[in-house]
């Protein structure tokens, strides 16, 4: 009589197949990412991957170039040829070989970063498409820098560029050139891993207003960007957060004569003001604010209130416009909101 597998054995087998399937689809995942994705402890995931490695179903290697501040970055895992055969035996359809799925050392940091988005955003209703798949679906140049696409729960699409560090002028110009060609992508998000790359992206594209023609052209520090997209992406969530800052939405305001794209009016400190959310550093809104010139403001009477959490970055870009006010929000206040929102 054949012994029936225990509940633990069934769960373990399912987890192993899920991990193999993920490594096939996502190409590379760290131990820590697997732990977050499947809600198991690091020690349990280490034990599982150790067994998969012993069966030669996966290959584990040291991570390089993913988190530059840490010398020890742990291991990442990829599927082996034997692992793909194991998936086929489990009725999983495959079309790529293990060699085709292998990630170069240069590109590894970008793949792991995109997979951070998969781990954190997909459970919240977002869809994440890899750079390779975006290029295939949209027939883009294989050498393009684009690292993926995000699709919001409402179906809004964003091309994704990830900056692990600052880039050379040559590479930045290449990115600018390809963005101008990407007419099939309606919005852009730039996710930066450090201050220097954030400043570089903001400065370069603020000086290239001919390229910033998208409804959203956002620049977000990577970790903050994930939290923003989870907890503050919708107008409802944003306004819920801002209600503690003496800001009251005024949906009944007359905006028939309002400047283009200045359509949100709030009551702040007893005055009607046009509200612009720059917590996502949407560079496309800079030209909108700049086009609201002094003469138009004097006829209209509403100032512009800009919400920002990046210190003087946005005020410096708009320093010549004197009818703009700022709602400065501290990083600690946003972190507190994210933590409490997650708990509730």
The per-residue pLDDT for range 94-141, each reduced to its tens digit, is 999 999 999 999 999 999 999 999 999 999 999 999 999 999 999 999
Lowest model confidence (mean pLDDT) among 19-23, 71-75, 121-125, 200-204: 71-75
CATH for the stretch 1-103: 1.10.10.10
242-264 b/e (C-beta count within 10 Å ≥ 16 → b): beeeebebbeebeeeebbebbeb
Q: What's the confidence (pLDDT) of residue 67?
A: 59
Q: Are 74 and 32 in contact (CB under 8 A)?
A: yes
pLDDT band at 2, cuts 50/70/90? low
**In which residue are the tokens 């520090």 written?**
221
Angle at 220 between CA 178 and CA 141, to 5 degrees: 20
- For residue 50, the number of C-alpha atoms closer than 13 Å in the C-beta half-sphere is 6
Q: What's the confidence (pLDDT) of residue 303?
A: 97
Lowest model confidence (mean pLDDT) among 42-56, 70-84, 140-154: 70-84
Would you say residue 144 has pLDDT above 90?
Answer: yes
- Average pLDDT score over residue span 68-95: 88
pLDDT band at 220, cuts 50/70/90? very high
Supply the mean pLDDT for the chain. 94
191: left (phi over 0), alpha (psi -120 to 50) or beta: beta
Would you give the distance in Å from CA 159 to the centre of its chain? 10
The encoded tokens of residue 201 equal 């992206």
Would you say residue 71 has pLDDT above 60?
Answer: no
């Amino acid at each position: 009589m054949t012994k029936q597998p225990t509940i633990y054995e069934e769960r373990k087998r399912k987890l192993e197949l899920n991990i193999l399937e993920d490594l096939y689809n996502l190409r590379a995942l760290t131990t820590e990412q697997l732990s977050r994705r499947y809600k198991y402890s690091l020690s349990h995931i280490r034990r599982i991957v150790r067994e998969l490695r012993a069966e030669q179903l996966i290959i584990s290697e040291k991570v390089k170039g993913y988190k530059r501040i840490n010398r020890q970055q742990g291991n990442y895992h990829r599927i082996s040829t034997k692992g793909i055969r194991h998936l086929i035996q489990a009725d999983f359809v495959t079309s790529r070989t293990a060699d085709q799925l292998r990630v170069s050392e240069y590109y590894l940091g970008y793949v792991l970063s995109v997979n951070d988005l998969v781990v954190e955003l997909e459970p919240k209703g977002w869809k994440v498409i890899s750079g390779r798949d975006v290029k295939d679906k949209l027939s883009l140049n294989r050498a393009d820098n684009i690292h993926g696409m995000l699709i919001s729960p409402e179906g809004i699409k964003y091309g994704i560029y990830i900056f692990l560090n600052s880039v050379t002028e040559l590479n930045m110009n290449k990115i600018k050139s390809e963005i101008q060609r990407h007419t099939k992508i309606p919005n852009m998000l730039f996710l930066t891993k450090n201050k220097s790359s954030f400043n570089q992206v903001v400065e370069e594209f603020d000086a290239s207003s001919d390229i910033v023609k998208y409804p959203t052209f956002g620049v977000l520090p990577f970790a903050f960007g994930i939290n923003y997209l989870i907890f503050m992406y919708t107008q409802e969530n944003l306004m819920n957060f801002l209600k503690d800052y003496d800001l009251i939405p005024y949906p009944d305001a007359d905006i028939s004569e309002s400047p283009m794209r200045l359509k949100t009016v709030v009551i702040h400190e007893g005055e009607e003001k046009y509200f612009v959310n720059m917590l996502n550093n949407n560079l496309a809104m800079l030209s909108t604010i700049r086009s609201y010139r002094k003469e138009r403001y004097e006829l209209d009477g509403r100032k512009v209130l800009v919400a920002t959490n990046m210190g003087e970055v946005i005020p410096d870009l708009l320093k010549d416009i004197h009818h703009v006010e700022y709602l400065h929000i501290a990083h600690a206040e946003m972190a507190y909101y994210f933590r409490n929102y997650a708990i509730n």
